[in-house]
Amino acid sequence: MKQGYDIKAILNRLPHRYPFILVDRVLGFEPGVKIRAIKNVTINEPFFQGHFPGRPIMPGVLIIEGLVQAGALLLAESLPEIRHDQVCFTGIDRARFRAPVVPGDQLVFEVEIAKQRAKVIKMNANAFVGLNRVAEAKFLAIIGGEK
């Protein structure tokens, strides 16, 4: 597995910015195969103000978004000739949330390419807190044409 990288390198590879960047560090990756990344969850996240007052829980949709961003980073490493605006995530299947994610947790995103045919890529994704899987999903992405 290749060495990971920090937030500065992530910001060079993804178009997302505060408050929507949901990957803090890439731990390692194998181009065309898999990636491991983390998101440190803190009480300072803006969504905790309303989700939920007195019992902060990270919204599941944002866990999925973190997994998608990790998948986008995997594609950036696997297909360096493709710009981020040429990749479109077109499907999410079998999303499941197995445990709540709360302030103080560190999410570990693991995404792997399951199948690639021409311009269509299928990925399997899992999110962990410690050894516990807290979410999982399957993604579909399509590589589009020039803009």
Q: Model confidence over 69-85: pLDDT tens digits?
A: 999 999 999 998 888 78
Average pLDDT value over all residues in the chain: 95
**pTM, to two decimals:** 0.95
pLDDT over 90 at 5, yes or no: yes
**Quick one: which H or E segment has residue 129?**
strand 120-129
Is 84 in the active site?
Answer: no
Residue 139, helix vs strand vs coil? strand
- pLDDT tens-digit series, residues 98-122: 999 999 999 999 999 999 998 999 9
Catalytic pick from 51, 119, 122, 138? 51
Q: What per-residue confidence (pLDDT) applies to 144?
A: 82
- What's the domain count of the chain? 1
Q: 59: cis peptide before it, omega within 30°? A: no
What's the confidence (pLDDT) of residue 6? Answer: 97
CATH number at residue 76: 3.10.129.10
For residue 74, give its domain range: 2-143
Find, among 142, 138, 33, the residue nearest to 82 by Cα: 142
Q: What is the pLDDT of residues 25-60, one digit of tens each?
A: 999 999 999 999 999 999 999 999 999 999 999 999
- Nearest CA among 26, 40, 36, 29 for reference residue 126: 36
Tell me the percentage of the chain whose pLDDT exceeds 70.
Answer: 98
Q: In this predicted structure, what is the pLDDT of residue 145? A: 55
Q: Is the pLDDT of residue 89 over 90?
A: yes
